[in-house]
Structures are given as C-alpha cells and as structure tokens.
Amino acid sequence: MLRQQDSTRIEPDTNGHSTETESPPTVASYGEATRAAGVDIQRELNRLEEIVLDSPRIPLTRRTLIDEEQLLDQLDLVRLNLPIAFQEAELVIRHKDELIQEAELYAQEIIEAAEQRASELLNEMGLIQQAKVEADQLRQQVQLDCEAIQQATIAEIEQIRYQAQQELDEIRARAIAECEEIQNGADDYADHALDNIEQQLTEMLRVIRNGRQQLDSNIPPQKH
C-alpha cells in the first residue's frame, strides 16, 4: 500500500532505511536523466529481491518470514520512482524528434561549414597556383631582362674599349710625331750650333796661322 503521495523521492540510506529528498524541478539532459532513473529502478528492484531472498524461511514449508516494514518501504520507494522514470522517459520520447531534428540541423551545419571550407581551400589553392604561375613568368621575364642587360653591357664595354684603343693609337701617333718633330728640331739646332762652332774654330785657326806667319817673318835667320 502506498503510504505517501507527494513530489518527494524516497531513497534508502546506507543502513537500508528510506530517506526523503526533493525531486529536481527540471531535467538537465534527457539521456542522462533516463539512464539515471533506469539505474535507480533497477537497483531498488534488486534490493527488493534481496529482501525476499535474505529473509528467513519457515522450516518444512515454502514460506518466508519477511520484515513487513522494510518490504513496504522498499515498495513505496519503487512506486515513487516509477512515475518519475515514466515521466522522464515520456519527456525524452516527446523531445526525441526535436533532438533528432537539432542533431540533423547541427550535422547539416557541420557539412555546410566543411563544404564552404573545402571551397575556400580550393580557391586558395587556385590562387596559390595562379601566383606560382605568375611568379614563374616574372622570374623568366627577369632572367631575360638580365640577359639582355648583360649583353647590352658587354657590347657597351666592347664599344668603349674600341674607342679607347683608337684614342690610345691616336695619342701614340701624335706622341711619336711630336717626338720626331722634337728630335728633328734638336738635330737642326745641334747642326746649327756645330756649324757656328766650326766657323768660329775656322776663324780661330786662320788667326792662329796668321799670327804664326807673322812670328815666322819677324824671327831672324840663325847662323850656323
């Protein structure tokens, strides 16, 4: 017989006596609530079976002496928990479709996000590939420009070298001409100077001869 009908749940303590605890007003998680309720009911039914099996038997009969108070407490505990378990199970069933719909919606959002990310990755890969192609083209163009600049620089250097060689040849030719002109002028000057010296020496020789002739004419002849 059910002795108390209220919203409290009777749970046994460690000594097997029943205690009253307030039932929670809401269910935090349908799966966890159903699982917890199932465990409580199963446990209390096992406890009820233990009470019967552990009770002493009347000798020579199939009857058992059972503690009526303990048995009734245990039955009350099972009765009070069964409606709560049924309510929680009904609540889970009632919201099953909603939970499935939310799960499907969440899965669809995940799929769409994955598809969007995959599309972004493909676009990024396309941009990377395009950037690589452009970089290769730019590298080839820079290489061609460098080769053209190198060829132009070599040609310019050759032209400068050719012009420098021509200028050097012209300077050498002018220097040789000037040296020859200076040499010719020096030869002319030396010839003129030697000619003057020769004339002076000739005049001096003439004076010397005249002087000797006069000396010879003024000297008396010697007697032998």
Tell me the two tokens of residue 216.
């010879």
Retrieve residue 13's tokens: 């303590």
Q: Six-digit token pair at 135?
A: 């970089």
Average pLDDT per block of 10 residues along the chain, 224 residues long? 38 42 39 46 82 84 83 83 73 76 86 87 83 88 90 90 87 86 85 89 88 77 59
What pLDDT score was predicted for residue 45?
Answer: 83
Taking the C-alpha atoms of residue 98 and residue 90, their distance in angstroms, rounded to an integer, is: 13
Give pLDDT, residue 13: 44
* Res 224: pLDDT: 55
pLDDT at 18: 41
**Burial group, residue 75, by CB count within 10 angstroms (0-12, 13-18, 19+):** middle
Q: Can you give the pTM of this predicted structure?
A: 0.30
Four-CA torsion 87, 90, 92, 96, nearest 10 degrees: -160
